[in-house]
A = this chain, B = another copy of it.
Amino acid sequence: MATILSADERRAETVRVVVELAAEQNPTDITTANIANRMGLTQGALFRHFPSKQAIIQAVLEWASVQMLSRLTKAAESAATPEAALQAIFTAHLSFAVKHPGVPRIFVSEMQRPEETLTKRLAREYFLRYRTLLESRIDAGKACGDFDPSIDTASAALVFLGTIQGLLFQSLISGDAKLKEFNTADVFKVFLQGIRGQR
């Protein structure tokens, strides 16, 4: 028999294990038997703590959203200038993705389904908050003359996100989840020059 944990502890461990598994295999291929096995539990035990598999994924997305947004916000707030804030967000995002490679994979996986699921709504809310965080810094940079005022704020935020997604996607292709072969500083430089404009 497995070690008995409280319901709260068990739920937290479930989330941890799903993130771990998502780093190793296609998130859509993760089964409840898979998760339970990794925890040293029987499959049925999972349903003592979650009403359905979707509820498990939902808990994972909630955990990931909170983790990401708190890290990104903290990174942004600890920076002195808008430019430094964007750099800090960029770095914080990538370091989280390197630490938990399964997380972006789960987000992508959930966004692929076209029906309006609860998990998709969660993912959407996460990206909305992320964009809002970015746009406030971009606008601040435009206001203080650091960034080109003629660029479209929403477009700049999208390029920022896309740049990170591009990095993560290419790392998926090359199997280099730790981003070792990528010069992330150079990549960020290209983005930064894009919003700085001619000065």
Contacts and interface: CB of A to CB of B under 8 A. Distances in A.
Interface string A13-41: 00000000000111111000000000000
Interface stretch (A56-64, A69-77, A109-117): A109-117
A166 B159 contact: yes
Given A183-B152, A194-B190, A198-B198, A27 B166 contact: no
Given A152-B186, A195-B193, A198-B198, A111 B172 contact: yes
Given A194-B194, A198-B198, A112 B111 contact: no
Contacts of A123: 173
A112 B26 contact: yes
B29 A113 contact: yes
A158 B162 contact: no
Contacts of A166: 158-159, 161-163, 165-166
A114 B187 contact: no
Count of chain copies: 2
For chain A, give the interface size range.
35 or more
A135 to B, nearest CB: 13
Interface in A76-120: 105, 108-109, 111-114
Interface of A: 24-29, 105, 108-109, 111-114, 123-124, 127, 148, 151-152, 154-156, 158-159, 161-167, 169-170, 172-173, 175, 182-183, 186-187, 189-199
Given A26-B28, A105-B112, A114-B175, 15 more contacts: A111-B169, A111-B173, A127-B170, A155-B187, A155-B190, A158-B166, A159-B159, A159-B163, A159-B191, A165-B166, A166-B166, A190-B191, A190-B195, A192-B194, A193-B193
